[in-house]
Structure 1
Amino acid sequence: MSELINLTAADLAAKLASGEVSSVEATRAHLDRISAVDGELHAFLATDAERSLAAARSVDERRAAGEDLGALAGVPLAVKDVLVTTDMPSTSGSKMLEGYRSPYDATAVAKARAAGLVNIGKTNMDEFAMGSSTENSAYGPTFNQWNTERVPGGSGGGSAVAVGAFEAPLALGSDTGGSIRQPAALTGTVGAKPTYGGVSRYGAIALASSLDQIGPCARTVLDTALLHDVVVGHDRHDATSLDMQWPSMAEAARGGVDPSTLKGLRVGVVKQLMLDGAQAGVKSRFEEALALLETQGAEIVEIDAPHFEYAVAAYYLILPAEASSNLAKYDSVRFGLRVSPEGGGTVESVMSETRAAGFGAEVKRRIILGTYALSAGYYDAYYGSAQKVRTLIQRDFANAFDRVDVIASPTAPTTAWKIGTHDADPMQDYLNDATTIPANLAGIPGLSLPIGLAAEDGLPVGLQLMAPAFEDARLYRAGAAVESLIADRDGRAFWQQSPMFGAVNVEGGAR
């Protein structure tokens, strides 16, 4: 197996820019990797080697012609199947959109293509991004590369595993309540949720429009920042897109490599995010990370955010309500699946049969909940009240950021659980997002990076950092410093500790 798959995106980009490696070689190496390991991991729903290699060849030709290319030109990219693309099917993990081909690219994908990145495949996800484990995909679950009996988190488990298993150096995901950050924590990778409106949602198959945000996934903080720089920015196609100039996230990450930049950083710890039911190994690693920060001169400040305890309840009224509205278009008439009753039927019966066949159990559950919350007589009591709680949570964040520069918490209260464990009780999945949901409700940026392995099961633990809106660069600077401290403590980068580092198949991983 080519050593190219073991390079960070930054290192691979440097080799591509110098001419030491071609994009065709890099792309072929990662496609070969997918062929070797994805049969067991199922991170990808679609690949098209011919199209990907053609795109890579085009980048090589442009470089040879002396064209000025982007910093990541020629680097392979995996794309969560929630983002529509013209070159591969876009299903959002649902039978409702099986085989759907979009006539246009999502803006984030279009920006990546313009920067010279090469799409090598669409990654698996919970259906319509509803889930925290990637078990709700209509096409079967994705398996955690650290232990294939465990979930990779969700809804973007496919993107997290793709980068964690060295199938791609970079990936795009979406984060509605933690769907980039929580899989990053469970797979030992890095993931960022940008400030709401920082990255265009145009071409992202909508779940909850006021919560959804597109963001980057990678194995290192710098790689994540490099991809963030590619996709950030205003888009006239997205009414919620912010029209502002963003600083370089990569420059911030490079500035944070020296842990001395942590001196004087005020780090808030919200007591409501230190969940009573959190796994002992998660708490232990989090406390060790805080201690490391203190050795570099960071100040740890306890924060009281009283309304955070209502975040999960508010989220699971707002999200289903918006999902109910967004998914109403899958009506068997305009596009998507159509199932007709035997012998024909009315529009209503065709719609009923189509939705029964096209939507999975979790999607149906949330549509029903959302439709009820929006119904006459209940709107103010449920959806309206949840939006009021959302405002209170935003105020809690504002008060906290008057006292601190960033807020730290465990990204997820547990490590990856065994596949099927939560089948009988979906609430366990919902509660696994308890620490990530507040950032989505407030629209602020969040970053997850690995800080070690839990003692009881040897699985990755993630640290979440949150900053005020528009201060995404602050997260990358602090995150890079923490990443450097963890590498110094362990004697090597965390991603190099993966059981799949240097391995050609998953048999080197834990079982």
Structure 2
Amino acid sequence: MSDDLIRLSAADLAEKLASREVSAVEATRAHLDRIAAVDGDVHAFLHVNAAALETAAAIDASRAAGDELGALAGVPIAIKDVLCTLDMPSTSGSKILEGWIPPYDATVVAKLRAAGLVPLGKTNMDEFAMGSSTEFSAYGPTHNPWDLDRIPGGSGGGSAAAVAAFEAPLALGSDTGGSIRQPGAVTGTVGVKPTYGSVSRYGAIALASSLDQVGPVTRTVLDAGLLHDVIKGHDKRDSTSLTDEWPSFADAARAGLAPDSLRGVKVGIVTELNGEGFQAGVKGRFAEAVALLSGAGAEIVELSAPSFEYAISAYYLILPAEASSNLAKFDSVRFGLRVNPEGGGTVEQVMAATREQGFGPEVKRRIILGTYALSAGYYDAYYGSAQKVRTLVQRDFARLFDEVDILISPSAPTTAFPIGEKIDDPLAMYLNDLTTIPANLAGIPGISIPMGLAEEDGLPTGIQLMAPAREDARLYTYGAALEQLFESSWGHTLISRAPSLSVTEQSAATEGVV
């Protein structure tokens, strides 16, 4: 029974909960048992919520009393440790915040609780979301459920791995340059970066404030739409929050399941997001996906966006600059770790000792780079120039969307690489976000959907869809249609064949998968 429960989609589990065929306590216990069974190998969680069963019991009591509940009431969810939770530690994957429990919930967490979802715990991540592999967590790496010797993507590898390993049907992540979509691609899950400002960032521990966006991590497009419906909307505590009225993204996903929903859709392929350096298996699966789209009646248009070639360079100036400013708050005085030098010291000496011990190597690297880019005499040459490139990227997107309805690309240039392979090569690591970064620079929404396994290594690949700002519903409609097209053409969804962590089961799970 418990194995059946953990493999249900969130939508199917919600139906069983609403009909009282299954209780929230049963669903929660099944996922807690799964975490206990496999997370020693996966290491998706940094903290498991001791109050999860109590929360689930309260939801069951409300349902029995006839209270009106949300569509996902009773469904368990994992939460990336970048989000503040008043009843669980919030470390952002860093020793400098080890054990810190915030005095408030992030807005998105408060919305989850109000909608009746059950927080299972906090998931592992690269320290302060700086990384593409979840190897830069101060608490050790997360492992990819498809191959425990490989990375689950980053920085939100814990959330993606938890969903892929059936430890949670839903998770929240944050995406600064691809940290939801890139882990989704390499773990065979669905990841959505909403339009910037459409989901509150209040209570999300900031990396780069003009780039960060909270979003869903799930196993199906419909599940992502259901979760997005819970967390969307204006928040007066977030100065960048949009005041738009948003449609139901779950309804948009359901609309995509109608016959011929891809017919006549203009789909753009950007040359700069599918070029040299891409793994052959990723390019092969992408070519198959394009052929399926064309066969379904979509019009494929080849496009070029010259500014995208400079997007990754601009990003790695803007992000460190904003990070160096945001991380200045970790000063040993107000909260978090405090290291006192032997024999005592001044405030400055305590601050230096704390940051030396509390920050990891990747965080230090980016703080130094960002501080340099903002320093007198270099601001215009580096940070200012990067912002000009950002404007060019935004203009290129606007021009492209005048010609097509959506843009597509591989979600990541390669499948999951072995743990340790790139940890000493920052430039190679940064290139993992090549296809996802432009959307963050422009503030537009993107979604990654599983598109089968790469031929050479049998590991998941992902296809990314991008839409104009505020047109998130378009992603859900066409994303669900494409997901259905893959299933009908290949005979299964990728996640339905996901492995169960033992070598024998992995071999059986991947046998015959396209």
Contact (CA 8 Å) 1:259, 1:296: kept in 2 or not?
A: no
Q: For residue 43 of structure 1, what is the amino acid of its counterpart?
A: A
Q: For residue 369 of structure 2, what is the amino acid of its counterpart?
A: L
Aligned residue number for residue 19 of structure 1: 20
Aligned residue number for residue 497 of structure 2: 497
Q: Deviations over 1:463-488 (max 9, x none)?
A: 00000000000001101011111111
Work out the CA distance in 2 between the residues paired with 1:349 and 1:379: 28
Aligned residue number for residue 283 of structure 2: 283
Q: For residue 371 of structure 1, what is the amino acid of its counterpart?
A: T
Most deviating of 362-371 and 419-428: 419-428
Work out the CA distance in 2 between the residues paired with 1:211 and 1:361: 22
Runs of 4 or more consecutive aligned structure 1 residues displaced over 4 Å after TM superposition: none
Aligned residue number for residue 76 of structure 2: 76
SS at match of 2:433: coil
Q: How does 1:62-141 map onto structure 2 within 5 Å?
A: 62-141=62-141
Aligned residue number for residue 31 of structure 1: 32
1:404 and 2:404 are equivalent in the alignment? yes
Work out the CA distance in 2 between the residues paired with 1:292 and 1:58: 46
Q: How does 1:230-379 map onto structure 2 within 5 Å?
A: 230-258=230-258, 260-379=260-379
Q: For residue 509 of structure 1, what is the amino acid of its counterpart?
A: Q
Aligned residue number for residue 198 of structure 2: 198
Shift of 1:361: 0.2
Aligned residue number for residue 147 of structure 1: 147
Shift of 1:334: 1.0
Contact (CA 8 Å) 2:84, 2:90: kept in 1 or not?
A: yes
Contact (CA 8 Å) 2:423, 2:429: kept in 1 or not?
A: no
Work out the CA distance in 2 between the residues paired with 1:507 and 1:119: 31
Aligned residue number for residue 42 of structure 2: 41
SS at match of 1:465: strand
Aligned residue number for residue 60 of structure 1: 60
Contact (CA 8 Å) 1:152, 1:416: kept in 2 or not?
A: yes
Aligned residue number for residue 509 of structure 1: 506
Contact (CA 8 Å) 1:153, 1:183: kept in 2 or not?
A: yes
Shift of 1:79: 0.1
Shift of 1:493: 2.0
Shift of 1:259: 5.3
Most deviating of 76-85 and 424-433: 424-433
1:220 and 2:220 are equivalent in the alignment? yes
Work out the CA distance in 2 between the residues paired with 1:450 and 1:241: 30
Shift of 1:54: 0.7
Work out the CA distance in 2 between the residues paired with 1:430 and 1:416: 14
Shift of 1:489: 1.9
Q: Percent identity?
A: 71
Work out the CA distance in 2 between the residues paired with 1:366 and 1:163: 29
SS at match of 1:407: strand
RMSD: 1.1
Work out the CA distance in 1 between the residues paired with 2:498 and 2:65: 39
Contact (CA 8 Å) 2:135, 2:423: kept in 1 or not?
A: no
Work out the CA distance in 2 between the residues paired with 1:48 and 1:180: 22
1:420 and 2:420 are equivalent in the alignment? yes
Contact (CA 8 Å) 1:193, 1:447: kept in 2 or not?
A: yes
Aligned residue number for residue 472 of structure 1: 472
Work out the CA distance in 1 between the residues paired with 2:88 and 2:103: 11
Unaligned ranges ≥5, structure 2: none
**Is the alpha carbon distance of 1:391 and 1:255 closer, same or farther for their aligned partners in structure 2, counting shifts above 3 Å?**
same
Work out the CA distance in 1 between the residues paired with 2:260 and 2:155: 35
Contact (CA 8 Å) 1:466, 1:475: kept in 2 or not?
A: yes
Shift of 1:229: 0.5
TM-score of the superposed pair, with normalisation by structure 2:
0.97
Aligned residues: 507
Q: For residue 19 of structure 2, what is the amino acid of its counterpart?
A: S
Unaligned ranges ≥5, structure 1: none
Shift of 1:507: 6.0
Work out the CA distance in 2 between the residues paired with 1:149 and 1:43: 14
Q: Deviations over 1:193-250 (max 9, x none)?
A: 0000000000000000000000000000100110000000000110000001001100
Aligned residue number for residue 482 of structure 1: 482
Q: For residue 222 of structure 2, what is the amino acid of its counterpart?
A: L
Work out the CA distance in 1 between the residues paired with 2:424 and 2:344: 36
Shift of 1:257: 1.6
Shift of 1:140: 0.2
Contact (CA 8 Å) 2:311, 2:393: kept in 1 or not?
A: yes
Shift of 1:506: 7.1
**Is the alpha carbon distance of 1:506 and 1:19 closer, same or farther for their aligned partners in structure 2, counting shifts above 3 Å?**
farther
Q: Deviations over 1:68-104 (max 9, x none)?
A: 1000000000000000001210000000000000111
Work out the CA distance in 2 between the residues paired with 1:79 and 1:115: 15
Contact (CA 8 Å) 1:259, 1:482: kept in 2 or not?
A: no
Contact (CA 8 Å) 1:263, 1:298: kept in 2 or not?
A: yes
Q: For residue 127 of structure 1, what is the amino acid of its counterpart?
A: E
Q: For residue 81 of structure 1, what is the amino acid of its counterpart?
A: D
Shift of 1:427: 0.8
Q: For residue 167 of structure 1, what is the amino acid of its counterpart?
A: E
Shift of 1:275: 2.5
Contact (CA 8 Å) 1:145, 1:506: kept in 2 or not?
A: no
Work out the CA distance in 2 between the residues paired with 1:272 and 1:359: 35
